[in-house]
């Protein structure tokens, strides 16, 4: 078998224009063609939201031809989320807590490995003024949930939960755009309990009508594989398929879980 690689050639402007025209007709959106020389691909993206991929064309070095367009099956869903505007209102408490933990650890790790003193100052400010309040909210909420005989602490629990979500929002607003939840895999995270995706609109996850708190071992968080840079399906074993999309255990990203 001949496995000799063929030198990649560039697609003509006419060919790319025809592809763009067909995509624009299909989706009713303006599309840009972005060339990524380092990966040897052409990426077609929504013009208004360039981080939302429509499709990709890659070169087959064995056949010497470009592969057919691989369309993003979640393009319309991702586009709708961006058009509707970002809101935390529907993201589950457990996802927000895990994201905050992941993000603070990421920023801490970056500051420790940087010679720039400004990084340490930013990290310390975020940790003291925003992350600690979140952890206190978590502790108070969990404590009240686990000691709520006959619903005596229902109002207190609602107050702690409201404080938590307000503090999460304040933390997110303070972050550089690259670290916000809307630009992380946690935006589309799934919560799994007893092997089943919790697919409802309730921001509180329950099992047998009992609230599952952050420290519980009764749930797992799964993140969309296509939103994790540098990771492929071959790199993971703990994964699930949900609505024709691969999700992986968040512990692959958050080493502190």
Res. 248: pLDDT tops 80: yes
Which whole number is the average pLDDT over 204-226? 91
- Please give the full DSSP string across 177-206, using - where no structure is assigned: GGGSGGGSGGGG-EEEETTEE--SS-SS-E
What does pLDDT average to over the chain? 89
Res. 43: pLDDT tops 60: yes
Of the candidates 44, 48, 37, 39, the one whose C-alpha atom is nearest the C-alpha of residue 68 is 44
Q: Looking at the chain, which runs of residues are DSSP E strands?
A: 31-36, 41-46, 53-60, 65-66, 70-71, 190-193, 196-197, 206-207, 210-211, 220-224, 239-242, 245-249
Confidence of residue 1 (pLDDT cuts 50, 70, 90): very low
Specify the pLDDT at position 78: 84
Confidence of residue 65 (pLDDT cuts 50, 70, 90): confident
Task: Give dist(CA 74, CA 244) in Å, integer.
Answer: 10
Which whole number is the average pLDDT over 76-94? 84
Res. 187: pLDDT tops 60: yes
Specify the pLDDT at position 134: 96
């Amino acid at each position: 078998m001949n496995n000799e690689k063929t030198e990649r050639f560039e697609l003509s402007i006419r060919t790319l224009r025809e592809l763009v025209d067909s995509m624009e007709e299909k989706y009713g959106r303006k599309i840009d063609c972005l060339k990524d020389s380092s990966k040897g691909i052409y990426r077609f993206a929504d013009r208004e939201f360039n981080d939302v991929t429509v499709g990709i064309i890659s070169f087959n070095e064995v056949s010497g031809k470009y592969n057919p367009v691989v369309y993003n099956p979640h393009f319309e869903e991702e586009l709708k989320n961006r058009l509707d505007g970002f809101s935390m209102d529907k993201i589950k408490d457990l996802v927000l807590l895990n994201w905050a933990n992941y993000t603070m650890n990421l920023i801490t790790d970056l500051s420790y490995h940087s010679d720039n003193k400004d990084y340490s100052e930013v990290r310390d400010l975020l940790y003291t003024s925003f992350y600690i309040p979140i952890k206190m909210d978590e502790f108070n909420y969990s404590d009240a949930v686990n000691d709520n005989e006959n619903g005596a602490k229902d109002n207190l629990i609602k107050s702690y939960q409201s404080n938590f979500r307000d503090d999460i929002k304040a933390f997110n607003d303070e972050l550089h755009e690259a670290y916000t939840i809307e630009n992380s895999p946690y935006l589309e995270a799934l919560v799994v309990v007893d092997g089943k995706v919790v697919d409802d609109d309730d921001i509180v996850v329950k099992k047998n009508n009992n609230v599952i708190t952050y420290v519980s071992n009764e749930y797992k968080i799964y993140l969309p594989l296509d939103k994790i840079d540098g990771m492929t399906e071959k790199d993971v074993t703990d994964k699930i398929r949900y609505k024709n999309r691969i999700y992986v255990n968040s512990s692959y990203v958050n080493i502190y879980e």
